[in-house]
Amino acid sequence: MKWKAKILEVGKQAIDPRENIIIMFGNNATDELMNVSVIQEFDKDNSLDNFIFEKGDQVKINDHLYKALGAGRLVADDMKEMGHVTLVFIDQVPEQLMKNAIYLQKSDEETIPNFKVNDEIEYIHGEELN
């Protein structure tokens, strides 16, 4: 299954090249959250009511596939309720997972993706990895 979202806004403090963390929220985020988040709006054809995301699933950003090395236990609930997830780009999963985070595989040499208004993100569950 796939859930597609479009970037509506990139907060002024949402992206720090020294950090490997991006906070995503739906378009109902408060002004304070919008300042530090990337705001996404999901395709109306794909209901978030059945959103599932687990270790081994994928996130596609700007035509680049990232494999999930781990997913916190609140990812699905937060996504359904607020369109919220924290994307952590990392080469190794920590022992203690953040409850609302998806840990995406990235080597130290890779940079985090560039997020721009109108870019698309796909959350892909249960499909064969490429």
53 lies in which domain range?
A: 2-124
- Whether 11 is covered by a domain: the verdict is yes
- Whether 129 is covered by a domain: the verdict is no
> Which CATH number belongs to the domain containing residue 87 in this structure?
2.40.33.40
- Whether 110 is covered by a domain: the verdict is yes
- Whether 130 is covered by a domain: the verdict is no
DSSP percent split of the chain into helix, strand, coil, nearest 5: 10, 35, 50
Domain count, the chain: 1
- What phi and psi values does residue 62 have, to the nearest 5 degrees? 50, 45
- Whether 97 is covered by a domain: the verdict is yes
Mind listing the pLDDT tens digit of every residue in the chain (130 residues)? 999 999 999 999 999 878 899 999 999 999 999 999 999 999 888 889 999 999 999 999 988 999 999 999 999 999 999 999 999 999 999 999 999 999 999 988 888 898 999 999 999 998 765 5
Contact yes or no for 113/72 (Cβ under 8 A)? no
Taking the model in full, what pTM does it have? Answer: 0.93
